[in-house]
Amino acid sequence: MELRVIGCHGGETPKHRTSAFVVDDRLAIDAGSLTSGLDLTAQFRLQACLVSHAHLDHIRDLATIADNRCQADCEPLIVAGTAPTLRVLKKHFFNNLLWPDFTQIPNKTRPTLKFLEMKPEKKIQLGAYTARAVMVSHTIDSAGFIIDGPDATIGYSGDTGPTDRLWELLNKEKNLKALLLEVSFPDREQRLATVSGHHTPRTLIKDLKKYVHPKDLPALLYHIKPVFQREVEQEIAKLKGVNLTVTAIGDQYVL
């Protein structure tokens, strides 16, 4: 399984992009930078996009990728998420006001986007992969994912503060090769992290220790706020007994 980092930040500047990852060129995880970070060929190759929650930094490029794929007459892009997330996408985003409803364009039988509901903890099949949504702890309904491919399983935390169920399920996985894990604010901004449903290095290390062998699990960190990038990286560098990597745009992992 090849995992590419398209965007891995909790904000945007010319050097920071919002969350989007691609597995084997086919399966996207969140859509924060799918068009700002992928050329047209790569945009057209995607078959599905898992959407963790409806916050704009995770869904924004669904607008522009739909537009591009529609003009190129691509196969429908499957957009998979839990019911609350899809409800927001339909009502507030692809509502023919903010953006056209690309689930009806160019026509209903072969639209540009197809929404696929994920029931929490029930597997769905997407090509060679199965994916499960696991509800996590954020300010709105937010899911993490467990994704099984032919040779590896990876986890994705979604936007979350301290949470339990995701760790219970990750502990049962036999072939877990990596976990994409959010961290957003430095320790001194704990209050802000708590009210906004995000991790600081302090809560991140506590949560990671809910995993049976935290040292054996490569945790790929993303969603750091650009304003706090250096400070969060310095705090992370001091954490012991875990296997942490701060992801960067363009990183590729073979798992």
Q: For binding to Zn ion (CB under 5 A), which residues are involved?
A: 55, 57, 159
Closer CB to Zn ion, residue 152 or residue 166? 166
CB of residue 55 to Zn ion, shortest distance in Å: 3
> Contact 21/28 with Cβ under 8 angstroms?
yes
CB of residue 161 to Zn ion, shortest distance in Å: 11
CB of residue 172 to Zn ion, shortest distance in Å: 26
Closer CB to Zn ion, residue 61 or residue 159? 159
Strands across the sheet with 176-182, in order? Answer: 124-126, 129-135, 143-148, 153-156, 176-182, 218-222, 243-246
CB of residue 105 to Zn ion, shortest distance in Å: 27
**Can you read off the two tokens belonging to residue 124?**
């769905």
Strands 243-246 and 27-29: unpaired
Host H or E run for residue 96: none
Greatest alpha-carbon pair distance for the chain in Å reads: 54
Closer CB to Zn ion, residue 57 or residue 189? 57
Closer CB to Zn ion, residue 81 or residue 149? 81
Closer CB to Zn ion, residue 16 or residue 55? 55
CB of residue 243 to Zn ion, shortest distance in Å: 23
Q: What are phi and psi of 55, to 5 degrees?
A: -65, 145
